[in-house]
Amino acid sequence: MTPTLRLRTAAAAVAAIALVAAGTAALLAQPELHLIPWAYGIPPVLAPGQKPAELPFQRPEGELTLPGSPAKLTRAALTDMTNAADWWPEDHPPMPPIVKNGRKPGVSACGVCHYPNGKGKPDNSAVAGLPEAYFIQQMLDYRDGTRKSANPKKGNAVQMGQFAKAMTDDEIREAARYFGSMKYTPWVKVIEAAKVPAHIYFGQLWVKVGTESTEALGNQILEGPEDTARFEGYRDPRSGFVAYVPPGSIKKGRELATTGGKGRTVACTPCHGADLRGIGPVPAIAGRSTSYLGRQLNDFRTGARHGAWSGLMKAATEKLTDEDILALSAYAASLAP
Ligand code: HEC
Ligand code: HEC
């Protein structure tokens, strides 16, 4: 027992234990937090008997090559969690071992999910160009559980917590230095459209399968690979993403981000910069994935993400509606990184 506890009266101790027990029960129950389907890559509900849609192309097998790349890779090599596949070694400095190979036990190679160039996929995150201090703080938040996804079923976000717990401080510093040394360059094309080509849900993303804009987008964002074959067939880290957003959302987002929208939020620019490219340790949000940004805003709003620095995001997020989150995500993603 700690000295403070010993000084307490018996009644206080009983009350304290009851509180702890209630806290544990609440934690075990994983309270359902509000989610935004497009931001969390939540699969559509299928009608009884309906099968999930299949990708409209055959994945290439055997020895894979890409024009201009020195690499020859197999399909299995593309997702080897102990050896990040590297199509374009000239696009980045040499990967430190933790990024290239991860470390047993418990740490997968960062370069597989986030790509060797750090630009990542919408279902994970772009880590290229993040300030080192910010990067390190995020890993500490993942480690102590104060940064979580509002969606406890988001397996790859749960894994981030596990990696952070298994990593040494030196490994965290090395990864932060490596990814922080690279520039994040344009990666997501934001297109305003009321009607969009047909998409199917695949692996937390939306994959374009139609050629004509025949489907109503509605009040959501659809974000997916610009070239499905290069993305899904080759995991090519030079092949970016497209986000379809409802008409008018960029302008609405700009209004909120620059003025605070008459008290709905606060202006983002004093902290993230006029162009949202970050200031000092405050991260850049310009040109990043719409669904990543939407998830983070909701994670702050619900309190699932409440790390050491997250208090600074409280006033910006606590009163946001889902529509505000859509508009802010569309606007920030549309800016040049
Ligand atoms: C299995 C895939 C996967 C691997 C491997 C992985 N990550 Fe992540 N990482 C994620 C996901 C998913 C997120 C975003 C979670 C979310 O949106 O809730 C993330 C987020 C992050 C962030 C937060 C970025 C930001 O802008 O705040 C950092 C930092 C990070 N990862 C570092 C690492 C490091 C370092 C490694 C290697 C040790 C690593 N990740 C390996 C999936 C992965
Ligand atoms: C008072 C300063 C401040 C203001 C105002 C502010 N932010 Fe932030 N923002 C931060 C800080 C600090 C972080 C890092 C928080 C953390 O580590 O948990 C952050 C993180 C974020 C992230 C997560 C980035 C990532 O890579 O995961 C997003 C998205 C974001 N802010 C968007 C916004 C938007 C949109 C607004 C305006 C509506 C805004 N912020 C206003 C300081 C601010």
Distance in angstroms (rounded) separating the CA atoms of residues 16 and 10: 10
Gap from CA of 299 to ligand 1 centroid (Å): 15
Closest ligand to Cα 158: 1
Which candidate, 238, 239, 237, places its Cα nearest to that of 207?
239
Work out the average pLDDT over 277-282: 98
Compute the Cα dihedral for 36, 165, 184, 277 and give only its sign. positive
Give yes or no for a contact between 224 and 205, defined as CB atoms under 8 angstroms apart: yes
AA identity, residue 33: L
How many other C-beta atoms lie within 10 A of the C-beta of residue 297?
26
Instruction: Pick the closest to residue 333 from 216, 248, 254 (CA basis).
Output: 254
| Predicted local confidence at residue 53, as pLDDT | 87
Does residue 14 carry a pLDDT above 90? no
How many other C-beta atoms lie within 10 A of the C-beta of residue 318?
12
Average pLDDT, the chain: 92
Q: Which of 285, 288, 323, 324 to mutate to test the pocket of ligand 2 (most atoms within 8 A of CB)?
A: 285
Ligand 1 center to residue 309 CA distance, Å? 18
Mean pLDDT calculated for residue range 321-330? 98
- Asked if 243 and 289 count as a contact pair (C-beta separation under 8 A), the reply is yes
- Given a cut of 50, whether residue 65 has pLDDT beyond it is yes
- The first and second tokens of residue 61, run together, are 């097998």
Task: Please report the pLDDT score of residue 32 as a whole number.
Answer: 87
Q: Tell me what the mean pLDDT of segment 5-30 comes to.
A: 44
Q: Is 108 in the pocket of ligand 1 (CB under 6 A)?
A: yes
Band (pLDDT 50/70/90 cuts) for residue 11 is very low
Mutate-to-test residue for ligand 1 from 160, 277, 299, 313, highest number of ligand atoms within 8 A of CB: 160
Cα angle for residues 213, 228, 324 (degrees, 5° grid): 60
Q: Are the beta carbons of 119 and 289 closer than 8 angstroms?
A: no
Token digits for 68?
Answer: 């201009």
Which CA distances in Å does 226 have to 39, 223, 236, 238, 239? Answer: 18, 9, 11, 11, 7
> Considering only CA atoms, which residue is closest to atom 29 of ligand 1?
135
CB of 130 sitting under 6 A from ligand 1:
yes
Task: Give tens-digit pLDDT for 45-58.
Answer: 999 999 988 888 88
Residues belonging to the chain:
337
What is the mean pLDDT of the segment spanning 82-87?
98
pLDDT in tens, 115-152: 999 999 999 999 999 999 999 999 999 999 999 999 99
Residue for token pair 């606060």: 266
Q: Which two tokens stand for residue 256?
A: 């909120």
Express each pLDDT in 226-245 by its tens digit. 998 899 999 999 999 999 99
pLDDT at 9: 38
pLDDT, tens digit (0-9, with 9 covering 90-100), for 88-124: 999 999 999 999 999 999 999 999 999 999 999 999 9
Cα–chain center distance at 46: 25
Beta carbons within 10 angstroms of residue 143's beta carbon: 19
**Ligand found nearest the CA of 137:** 2
Closest C-alpha to ligand 1, atom 43 = 113
Query: For residue 328, which of 271, 260, 263, 244 has the smallest C-alpha distance?
Result: 260
Q: Which atom of ligand 1 lies at the shortest distance from residue 159's CA?
A: 1
- Cα 89 vs. chain centroid, distance in angstroms? 24
Rounded CA separation 45/52 (Å) = 10
pLDDT of residue 30: 57
> In which residue are the tokens 């370069």 written?
111
Residue with the bigger pLDDT between 23 and 297: it is: 297
pLDDT band at 306 (very low <50, low <70, confident <90, very high): very high
Please state which of the ranges 26-30, 181-185, 320-324 shows the lowest mean pLDDT.
Answer: 26-30
Q: Is the pLDDT of residue 19 over 80?
A: no
Answer yes or no: is pLDDT of 299 > 60.
yes
CA separation for the pair 308, 58 (Å, rounded): 46
Q: Name 3's Cβ contacts closer than 8 Å, sequence gap at least 6.
A: none
